[in-house]
Each structure stands twice: as C-alpha cells, then as structure tokens.
Amino acid sequence: MKANAKINLTLDVLGKREDGYHDLCMVMQSITLSDMLTFRPKQPKDELRVYSNLDFLPTGRKNLAAIAALNFWQAAGMPEQGLEIHIEKRIPVCAGMAGGSSDAAAVLRWLNEQNGNPFTMRELAKIGERVGSDVPYCVLGCTALAEGRGEILTELPKLPHCWVVVSKPEFPISTPELFAKIDSTKLRCRPDTAGVLEALKAQDLDGVAKRMYNVFEDALPKMYYSRISELKRLLIHYGAMGANMTGSGSATFGLFSDEATAQTAYEELKQICEETFLCESV
C-alpha cells in the first residue's frame, strides 16, 4: 500500500495554547512521492513488528506504524494481532513531509479494509489523532485546510494538477526547537491563506503558487535559512511558479505547470541535493 507524502502550501502558527501545543493554520497537499508498505499477518500470539530499508528507524511498538495498528485494534475492540509491517522508505526522513505519519495512516487504512471497513474515513482520521498530529490529514489526503494541532480538517477544491520538484538538503531541522523559537520570532510576513483558498476555488494554480508561505522559515537558524532560501531561488530560476519550505523542513519544493520545465529543474537541483525528487500533485 502506498503512503503519499504531503507538502505545505501554507503554514501559519497562530499562537501557543494552554495545553502547550500551538494553533496552526495550514493548507496541505498530497504528492506522488510515497513510501510502500507491505503487510504479513501472523498468528495472534506473534508480536507486532515493523521493518524498513533504513536500519536506524525504530521497530516494534515505537514506530508510528505500530502505534497506529495498536490504536486501530483498541478502537475496534479487537485483541492485538500478530503482524509484520515492512516499509520501503522513499519519503525523506526529518523533511517536513509527514513520512512517518503517512505510514501510520496507511496502516489504519489497510487494517480498516482488512476488517470490513468498520470505520468511515473521518472516523479513521479521528483514531489517527491518537497517533500524531499529521496522521488525520494523511488518512484523508488530497487538498485540505488543517487547523488546531492539524487535526481539524476541511476538504478543499483540489489543487490543479501540477508537477512538484522537492529537494531535501543534507541537514535535518528540529521541529521542537522551531516551535520553541517561533513564539519569540518577529515574522516577516504570514501566508495569504484566504487568497490561497480563493485561488483553489477558482482553480488558479498560479494564484496558489504566488501566495505560498511558511512562517517557520522566519525561525530558522541563519545557516539553514540561507540554504533554504537558495533552494527556493534556484527552483524559481528554473521555472517554478512558486517555492516553499514544507512543514518544519528541511525539504523545499516548487510547483511547475509543465513537465518539461519540472524535469529540467529536477536535473539541475539533483546535482546540488542528492535527495531531489520529481513528482506530481495527487
């Protein structure tokens, strides 16, 4: 089963809440870059295990995919099952693309199908809230407005089909550190979320691309900010209609209206960033 990555067309942090989390306002989009999950049911007495092609990722109950399975069984009133989950990772790790969350969402969808669809997709997304803030969106996918911690979702008109070039630089960015810093950061600007929603309604890809922004870029350490800014500049130089950092980074993407231009940009950025991908909107 495929687990699609997400990108943030917008990301705004509205303020810190009493529970310690932050209120967010984000327009999210699924893309064709995906992990591939395979499942092997085992005898009920056998343990739940997660394997991947990346040996540094956690196995067993510490992996989000395993946590998703445990929460599904609990919500369904079922005993724990023996299950092996293998994840072929293609989505960059620590990139702001919800790789782990998309894997967890794929587990929820697969278990739901295998058990006769006892939950609607909205109910399944609700179960995903227990696993992680991005999991509800990854259950539903496509184009959506995410609010609250990311769990309050509003389906939006789909993004007009486009090509997406994603480049993830060689460094990870700490999400907790960025959240800790954002409260004391003077933001240069905020995304025009209302404008993006209007552009989506009008199916205006150029209008969406020109209004993208991620406030986390303002909270980046200077060295990282320079690198992200350079990637955005190069994406625009090679024909992107707009460019943005996704999530808490460090992956940066550009939207392209035609495949040939996107292919050229991909080939150029691949020489700079090994983890560069050419994909499409879902």
Q: Are 50 and 87 in contact (CB under 8 A)?
A: yes
Question: Helix or strand or coil: residue 107?
Answer: helix
Spell out a b/e string for 114-153, using b for 16 or more CB atoms within 10 Å of the CB, else e.
eeeeebeeeebbebbbebbbbbbbbbbbbbbbbbbbbbeb
For residues 20 and 228, what is the distance between their CA atoms, to the nearest angstrom? Answer: 28
Catalytic residue among 35, 103, 134, 218: 134
Tokens of 213: 């922004």
Residue type, 255: L
Q: Is 6 a catalytic residue?
A: yes
β-sheet bridge partners, residue 152: 147
User: How many CB atoms lie under 10 A from the CB of residue 179?
Assistant: 17
Q: Are 66 and 48 in contact (CB under 8 A)?
A: yes
Q: Is 19 a catalytic residue?
A: no
SS3 letters across 45-83 = CCCEEEEECCCCCCCHHHCHHHHHHHHHHHHCCCCCCEE
User: How many CB atoms lie under 10 A from the CB of residue 155?
Assistant: 10
Q: Annotated active-site positions, please?
A: 6, 134
